[in-house]
Amino acid sequence: MNKRSHFTKQSGAALMAVLFVIAVIAVVVATVYSVTSFEGRNMKRTFNRATAIAYGDGIIQCLFDQWRLASSNTLDPNQHASGFTFNELMNGKATLPATTVPSPLPLAAPAATQLSVPAGCRLVSWKVQPVDPFLNGVGDNDTRPTLESGTNSRSRVRMYYVADVKVSYAGGSVTVERAFVRSGRNIFENFLFSTQPVTEINPGATMSINGTIYAGGDLYTGTSSLALQQDVTYTGKWTVGYVSGDPHASTPSTPSWPSGDSPHSGAQQKLLDTPLSSLDPNFTDGSSSNDQDSDGNVNNDGYHEIIEELQTPTSTYGNDPLQIDTAGGSERLANNADYRIYVDASNSVTIYKGASTTALTSGADYTAIMGAITTNTTLKDGRENDNVRVVNVDVGAITTAVNASSTTYDTVGNNDGLLLYINDTSAGTSVTTRGFSGYTTTATANGNLTTTGGTTTTSTSHRGVRLINGGSLPAVGLTVATPNPVYIQGDFNSGATTTYSSKAGGTSSAKVLTVSNLPTSDGSTAYPKSTSAPDESSGTYTKRTAAVVADAVTILSNSWSDGTSTSSLSSRNPSNTTINAALVAGNVPTTKTAYSGGLENFPRLLENWSSSQNLTIHGSFGLLFNSEQATGIWQNTGNYYNAPSRRWFFDPIFQDKNPAGFPVAFAYGLGAWTLK
């Protein structure tokens, strides 16, 4: 009895212990199950949310594509320059002064056939609205975006929009937000913008470059005389050396560059807002040579088209690849010119204003421009080995007229400056022209000037446009564009005072400039150090935005004289000269028989320069194509020229305002997404 009772007590205690353990295990199992279920639900919600975010971002991508297409398609100048209002984007209702909206506005969320809807997700709401640079709203539904930068309609302005997309999913909802950005780029953001398949920089004397360089192809730098001071990018390959077969090549040496910033591969930059696929591949940056018309379209001449006129009808000559977007019209500078000036084989001058097909015959602008033109003078170009008949443009006379009434002259391009397009259409033919001295300047019945008396000579094929008396430019800025070569004689846009007679009765000696009030950069002690940058404008003169766009650009110093252009090199002695402008032109590519001359000879020279004489250029270079008229090959110094002390600097003036009439390429981007 006692033993049995003791056994029963022990069994009960054991049972209680077992039950306790079971209870604890049950609690643990329940807890684990609860936690596991919670984590499972949480993971599922996280997955659902991520799926909703991806779906919302996909919708934004579709909206972005529609907005970008509409921005390119718009015919309205207000929408093109200043963007769209909320009503135009979302409701398809034009905001005055616009009267229509482009396709594909209004924007539309993608259908399920365009973008699959994930299970459990639903598009709740969406919108795209114009904003300011801080991504804040801009007012009512008829307000356009607030532009961020730039001083005219062709500048590098940026405009912003914000897209919001709200998506629901099992367990909640999320709003995805991204910014749309349209920004402008231009070639003048660089000291050098080259679209040639090969870009070479091989100076003999020390040369420092203080601006960025873009080479849209292969880059060759073969000398330690070159000091690169800013970022350098290329899209092909970079070689410390010379192009294969370059007859002037020597033992390569390495240029210098900022620490940690050697030349490197970079993104392709575009000159124009056009697909590169629309241009003849033989004329665009890449491995192909710019030497032939591969598609049979005479209107498809690569970037040389910017200085050419469209040949019509296009059914015969071919479509125009530079007819980029319907809003911007043609990117050919002739189409954007305020005045088009033509000179024929007999030296007759015809002027058209804007897009008019009726020649001017009267008016203050007609009289002023005609009075600034002198035809039938000649200079000897030693590189071309030809007597070049030149059309002389008295820039100072035009500046006086334009500054007195800029609205009379600057009528194309939303007040972006004066663009003159000049074309001697007799290029390529042989003509008899005036000799180099002994003639008299006389007025024609049309009001322009020409030459009589003296001797005559023959220009076998070459024509040119000479810009003279250009110390001061119109306050609105100036671009001169021509398919002919350009000769810039004397200081340009520096504020220097130049005396040049373009009046009837002047003699040939009037072709020599008398200069005074020179900028510091023209002084004899201007450059105590190789990289110093003295003042490139004199007195209180304010530099203007300027560009010279031509088949080739040759600089003639302040001391140039036509009378000595046929004499030996030792007779053509220059003086310090300053040019403040963007220069856009072509070159003659390197072959096995001749070097291109490289960047160092991009502005061509014809005088007996020396290292003690400074050629100062503040500006930007655009090397875009092969020269088609000025095709004479570069020759070593001592033949037709000797090298100056090259003092070349990037001019940040172009970061604020484009030269008159020059195109801008638009880039469209998406900002990083944020969640609400």
Residue spans per domain, the chain: 36-185, 321-655
Query: Tell me: the pLDDT tens digits for 453-480?
Result: 888 999 999 999 999 999 999 999 999 9
DSSP 247-297: TT--S--PPB--TT---EE-PPP-SSSS-GGGS-GGGSSSSS-S-S-SSS-
Tell me the three-class secondary structure of 357-400, residue by residue: CCCCCCCHHHHHHHHCEEEEEEEEECCCCEEEEEEEEEHHHHHH
Q: What is the pLDDT of residue 662?
A: 76
* Residue 307 pLDDT: 94
Report the pLDDT value the prediction gives residue 322, as an integer from 0 to 100.
61
DSSP for 412-468, please give it. Answer: STTT--EEEEEEETTTTS-EEEE-SSS-EEEE-TTS-EEEESS-EEEE-S-EEEEEE
Is 333 within 8 Å of 271 (Cβ atoms)? no
Residue 32's pLDDT band, with cuts at 50, 70 and 90, is very low
- Which has the closest alpha carbon to 500: 429, 570, 396? 396
Its sign, for the CA torsion 40, 45, 49, 51, is positive
Q: Which amino acid makes up residue 655?
A: Q
For residue 417, the 8-state DSSP code is -
Confidence of residue 290 (pLDDT cuts 50, 70, 90): very low
Q: Is 134 left (phi over 0), alpha (psi -120 to 50) or beta?
A: alpha
pLDDT digits (tens, 9 = 90+) for 610-663: 999 999 999 999 999 999 999 999 999 999 999 999 999 999 888 777 898 876
Dihedral sign from CA coordinates of 204, 200, 308, 288 = positive
Q: Are 256 and 224 in contact (CB under 8 A)?
A: yes
* pTM for the full predicted model: 0.79
> How far, CA to CA in Å, does 341 sit from each of 98, 175, 393?
34, 58, 11
For residue 67, how many C-alpha atoms fall within 13 Å in the half-sphere facing its CB?
A: 31
Q: Give the pLDDT of residue 291.
A: 41
Please give the span between the terminal C-alpha atoms of the chain, in angstroms, as a whole number: 79
**Residue among 213, 218, 212 at smallest CA distance from 196:** 218
The residue ranking higher by pLDDT, 475 or 326, is 475
Q: Which residue has the tokens 């590189």?
A: 383
**pLDDT tens sequence across 482-515:** 999 999 999 999 999 987 765 555 555 545 678 8
- Any idea which of 290-294, 437-441, 569-573 has the lowest mean pLDDT? 290-294
